[in-house]
Structure 1
Amino acid sequence: MATLNFFGGLSIQIVAIIIISLAPTTIRCLDLTRTQTLSTLTGSSGQQNLDLSWGTNATHIEVQLAYPTLGWLAFGLSPTGGMDQADVLFGYVNDSTKEVVIQDRYLTANMAMMAVNLTLDTQQDWQAVSGSKNKTYTTIRAVRRLRTCDSSDRPFTNSLTSIIYAGNFVAPLSPTATIKKHNFRGTTSVNFLQDDNLDDPDISSEVSMSLEFRMDNRTITGDADTRYNCKLTTLPNFEKKYQSIASQPIINKQNMKQIHHMLLYVCKPLPAQYSSRDFFDCGPTSNSFIMQYCQNLIGGWAMGAPETEYEPADVGLPFTPEMSGLQVVLQIHYNNPERKIFTDDSGMRFLLTDKVRKYDSGTLMAGVLSLDFTMTIPPGLDTFHIQGQCSDKCTSRLLPPDGINIYSAAVHMHNRGLSGVARHFRGDQEILPPLASELHWDFNFQQSKPVEPFRKFLPGDRIVMECNYTSINDSNPVYGGEGSMEEMCLVFLDYYPKADLSTCGAMFNLPSYLDTIGLTPAKILQYGILNVSPAMLHSYNESVRHAVKGFLKGPVTSLITSQKWTPDLAAPFEDFYTEMNYLGICIGKGNVSVVLDDEPPESGWYIDQSQNTC
């Protein structure tokens, strides 16, 4: 068994060793029509960048990696942009035999447990095409099918794919020898099958002003590998309506290695005690109460995204006089393994036009709206599923007769999330693929992704937002909430034309919830709660419901914490979130809410069939 140090600084055990053919026989030769230079995320000062080239046909992809090294090179398809469950091409030129070694590997990483495994696939799908090494430079070239039907491989699809890459200056002595830790590594996103003939639209004649949201030279401390910093900014006064027709990242070139992704939220009016806090920590472990008021996502950027993101033709994101003076939060995730202290003025720019386009874009937030204990993840479980419905009764009331066109989607959970899928139903028929599918959720790698082709969503259609969590490291229940230590299960859908419906989701039925966990009226009395009547438990009045939940949170927490949770014990709890009646909440123009009693249809859990398509 060989030991590796790969991508991170952790010791990695190879759990399977398979020696593959080393002969550099040419399998096929595709034209390498595209090249991308990948900047290093960590590495030596002045480090050069990795050249990635590729070409495709209807069935195969051929990839070439080139870098000034005498050691190994690796490239992986990642579900999130992190190491875990990445499908890795690993290769080098053997110093003694001059043979090209190409290996198909699979990487798993549990950073909480400090455990990383890099295994050789039983089915070796990457095959050597060629390779070379001179006194300073190594080039490897390999080919495989776009879809291999191997559960350890990831398909190449016509969508933006997160990739990781790394290298070392020393080659292994043999396929089974110790592999030295990387000297450089990085991550980005690439669409390997994108049509190169698609030109960016020319919007220069439309743009009348720009709007920037920046960090304003704030100091980023070097006390952690990862930081989330937020900058609060006030929108200017808009004397008339504008539309944003494109957005761009503003990246301080000195800080390119540290800036991982950015998100921009519009806030509801903030309480006075928060409105003056213009710079604050807002990461997954921070207890920032400001973010609960700032949930309207209007923009984002992540490493590997295009330099300019364009709205669809005839569509613009509205900035109206009614938005004047609202506050906006810019959140930047800094990846800083070298723990540098630096100042940053990066941010985002919106290109606005006063030549108003035909359609306003809108954002629909759908999923679980129970931001309280009625959304409960019991402690100590490997997995726990929750579903939240956007009812067909809501969409039939508040969407226009011709429906809307969804063009972008962003799943939102916090750091206990494992996967999130936004499913689309029309009657009993599920429309595939899902509107959004994050099957390997990572809070550190969240971004909005295009829905291609645009999806027509009609009145009477339903969204089932399905989230899977782990609470294996928790000793107390995790409740729904906007704080980073709580959990959410939402999807943000960008669409046009803008409709009355802005929020559509599920609020779980309180009496049914109490029945499910066994908190009977008699037990409520035993906890000394005397001021909660049956009528109050069934009330639709928001202030009454809020008061009742305040009274009952202590008894609920005590009861759930007293249980030793197992998958069998949790199963009825999961059934509650998929089978019981719930309150369908529809929020439209003017924040007017419609509350509907709804019964979810039988949908089962989502099963990804993409690997079965070959």
Structure 2
Amino acid sequence: MTGVLLFQLVLFLPLAAPSQGHHHGPKSRLRYSRFLDSSNVLFLRWDFDLEAEVITFELKVRTAGWVGLGVTNRYTNVGADLVVGGVLPNGNVYFSDQHLVDEDTLQEDGSQDAELQGLTEDAVYTTMRFSRPFRSCDPHDQDITSDTVRVLAAYGQDDTPKLDREHIFVKSIFLLQIIHPDDLQVPEDTIIHDLELTNFLIPEDDTTYACTFLPLPIVSKKHHIHKFEPKLISHNETMVHHILVYACGNASILPTGTSDCYGADPAFSLCSQVIVGWAVGGLSYQFPDDVGISLGTPLDPQWIRLEIHYSNFHNLPGIYDSSGIRLYYSPQLRRYDMGVLQLGFFTFPIHFIPPGAQSFMSYGLCKTEKFEEINGAPVPDIQVYGYLLHTHLAGRALKAVQYRNGSELRTICKDDSYDFNLQETRDLPARVEIKPGDELLVECHYQTLDRDSLTFGGPSTINEMCLIFLFYYPRNNISSCMGYPDIVSVAHELGEEASDSMEGMMAMNNVEWTPENIKKAEKACKEAQQTVIIKTIDEVVENTTGWIPDIAPTSRGPCLESTGGKVEPQDKTPAGFRAATPVTLSGTSTIAPRTLPLATLLITQGALSWLLVTQARDWP
């Protein structure tokens, strides 16, 4: 190990002789920032240029030693890239593009793809600023994508770059945010309104869905909600899994009090059109300047259902909670009234995922051809501007794909590196138009290597979901459009007898889940006819059928050839590569868990026919 460290120190050639405080490159404002650790020792700023495909990072660490920043994956830090730098006692700086060959050892890349812009050290902090391409042609560099990115940061107490696991931190971040809140308008006459539970005693159960019905603000003229954020009690933050606000039809007869959303009283599951929602890891969200949630007109809901999902896995007693959602609204009107369309796999036990699966895909189909009929009025083209993705712990990736006239049109949104602990509303880089007659397909990718029994769809965190929420304008009355496969035909393909859906679900317990049968089940679910359930804000339900279309594979884009170091010919990918060009960023540029058995699920969720009608639970 001593030899390795000496070799590494030789690699860190001094880049500059001036005293501490010398800077390389521009010092433009970096718009985004985040602490990377709970003790606020590591502070990251970043910004990017979407057109040039270059990102700039600035890492500030409370240390007089070396600092490092890079990207890793969800399973291991081995192979992660790490840009390392620091300031020597004589004032010279060292800087190098490296990667982890194992958990404890760094090695310099043959191609140096990070460009130093500044390295300083003072009495408290070492600060390193550099830029790098989203995708270099060096196989040792991880890509920066529009997916969730797992940012790896490390540091030492001296100038010997030795990895110490106590000083290594990984944080999931959506780096390529399109809209920054500072770029959005904040009306001066903003009014705040809280929708919250009051001193709710959290049950000593693993999972609780608590629901209550609350009035929206009473206003004398039309207003728009332009922002929302979670209102969390500090000691309960880790227990609150999600908070949802559902709009209620004005003809609904609503119960009083607080009760189990999906328990004995079905009235507490009324109202299924999501208008705002927060899930674990998310922050506040501000709508684009031209859209908002309408308040105060005869067409607007007067009441909402507030749903809070608690995960009390330690079964702690005596904990009271008053969490909720804070709304910001104003009489300054936006151009469009927004809506939310819920897509995905209809959440109930017909959704199953085999144990021991390295990979298993589930699909939920939406057919919009009946939207106008069930809406009760013509449905204008839908303009999608944002989205929220959701699975539970087995989820690894999601995507929503659009089809028109039988042909794949585009992927609307996706995350190939989904993290259950980072669920947030995200903006699209460009608005997507959905026309009546289009088909929308949600694909969810799961992994269950840590499970030895079937995972069924259900509300608990230890069950699964496959949902995507599209934020769009102008609003209509459709609240959800989701599908599920013919489970009887799936059972027959797996060699099991079944004459109805209940027997089909039970038959899944009889299958020996070998890798071959896992793939056979995935294929059978994809090729089975789908039932598509469309629902309105007034609880009107309409069914249709369809078939899962194929999804064309997406290829990686071109890589940027480094201006330093060497990329071997075998490292150049078929997608091609291009030379990097210097980029100056402008400060104003816009750029093993348990699973509930099937019998328990069927008892707790009620009869299958009841589930088909009251499917409002289809959320995180």
Q: TM-score, normalised by structure 2?
A: 0.70
Partner of 1:144: 132
Partner of 2:510: 559
**Equivalent pair of 1:210/1:349 in contact (CA under 8 Å):** yes
Q: Label 1:438 to 1:88 Cα distance change in 2 as closer, same or farther (>3 A).
A: same
Q: Distance in 2 between matches of 1:72 and 1:218?
A: 48
Q: Distance in 2 between matches of 1:212 and 1:70?
A: 45
Shift in Å, 1:313:
1.2
Q: Distance in 2 between matches of 1:60 and 1:444?
A: 27
Q: Distance in 2 between matches of 1:156 and 1:83?
A: 17
**Matched AA of 2:187:** I
2:215 to 191, 214, 236: 236
Q: Label 1:172 to 1:18 Cα distance change in 2 as closer, same or farther (>3 A).
A: closer
Partner of 1:575: 523
1:417 to 395, 405, 408: 395
Q: Distance in 2 between matches of 1:118 and 1:347?
A: 46
**Matched AA of 2:491:** L
Q: Distance in 1 between matches of 2:342 and 2:78?
A: 29
Partner of 2:69: 75
Q: Label 1:201 to 1:78 Cα distance change in 2 as closer, same or farther (>3 A).
A: farther
| Larger mean Cα displacement after TM superposition, 48-57 or 130-139 | 48-57
Partner of 2:591: none
1:478 to 439, 444, 455: 455
Q: Label 1:100 to 1:477 Cα distance change in 2 as closer, same or farther (>3 A).
A: same
Indicate the RMSD between aligned Cα atoms, in angstroms. Answer: 5.0
Query: Counterparts of 1:377-388 in structure 2 under 5 Å?
Result: 377-388=353-364
Structure 2 stretches of 5 or more lacking a match? Answer: 17-22, 559-574, 578-620
Q: Distance in 1 between matches of 2:459 and 2:225?
A: 30
Partner of 1:587: 535
Partner of 2:164: 179
Shift in Å, 1:304:
9.3
2:157 to 170, 175, 182: 170
- Paired residue secondary structure (1:512): helix
Q: Label 1:396 to 1:179 Cα distance change in 2 as closer, same or farther (>3 A).
A: same
Q: Distance in 2 between matches of 1:257 and 1:461?
A: 40
Provide Cα deviations, 1:197-246, integer angstroms capped at 9, x if missing partner: x74224334x4x4321346577999x9xxx99876453126667865422
Provide Cα deviations, 1:261-305, integer angstroms capped at 9, x if missing partner: 864343889998x95348x9x9xxxxxx99987875433458997
**Equivalent pair of 2:68/2:155 in contact (CA under 8 Å):** no
- Paired residue secondary structure (2:340): strand
| Larger mean Cα displacement after TM superposition, 209-218 or 413-422 | 209-218
Q: Label 1:363 to 1:438 Cα distance change in 2 as closer, same or farther (>3 A).
A: same
Query: Counterparts of 1:73-472 in structure 2 under 5 Å?
Result: 73-77=67-71, 88-93=81-86, 99-105=93-99, 124-150=112-138, 153-156=141-144, 164=151, 166-168=153-155, 170-171=157-158, 173-174=160-161, 177-179=162-164, 181-182=166-167, 189-191=174-176, 199-205=183-189, 207=190, 209-214=191-196, 232-236=211-215, 244-249=224-229, 263-266=243-246, 276-277=258-259, 296-300=273-277, 309-317=286-294, 323-330=301-308, 347-353=324-330, 359-369=336-346, 371-373=348-350, 375-391=351-367, 393-394=369-370, 400=378, 402-432=380-410, 434-472=411-449
Shift in Å, 1:181:
1.6
Q: Distance in 2 between matches of 1:259 and 1:40?
A: 21
Q: Label 1:136 to 1:311 Cα distance change in 2 as closer, same or farther (>3 A).
A: closer
- Paired residue secondary structure (1:266): strand
**Matched AA of 2:15:** T
| Larger mean Cα displacement after TM superposition, 422-431 or 160-169 | 160-169
Provide Cα deviations, 1:427-458, integer angstroms capped at 9, x if missing partner: 244333x2221112222211221122111111
Shift in Å, 1:490:
1.8
Q: Label 1:72 to 1:299 Cα distance change in 2 as closer, same or farther (>3 A).
A: farther
Q: Distance in 2 between matches of 1:178 and 1:412?
A: 35
Q: Distance in 2 between matches of 1:141 and 1:407?
A: 32
Q: How many residues are aligned here?
A: 537
Provide Cα deviations, 1:146-181, integer angstroms capped at 9, x if missing partner: 331455545556x6965646454513635xx44352
**Matched AA of 1:52:** R
Q: Distance in 1 between matches of 2:542 and 2:82?
A: 52
Shift in Å, 1:69:
0.9
Q: Distance in 1 between matches of 2:436 and 2:415?
A: 26
Partner of 2:613: none
**Equivalent pair of 1:267/1:328 in contact (CA under 8 Å):** no
1:607 to 554, 567, 572: 554
**Matched AA of 1:75:** L
**Matched AA of 2:510:** L
Partner of 1:533: none
Provide Cα deviations, 1:35-80, integer angstroms capped at 9, x if missing partner: 655446422xxx5663636676935444332333123333345789
Q: Distance in 2 between matches of 1:335 and 1:181?
A: 26
Q: Label 1:41 to 1:323 Cα distance change in 2 as closer, same or farther (>3 A).
A: farther
2:486 to 479, 504, 509: 509
Q: Label 1:160 to 1:298 Cα distance change in 2 as closer, same or farther (>3 A).
A: farther
Q: TM-score, normalised by structure 1?
A: 0.70
**Equivalent pair of 1:188/1:303 in contact (CA under 8 Å):** no
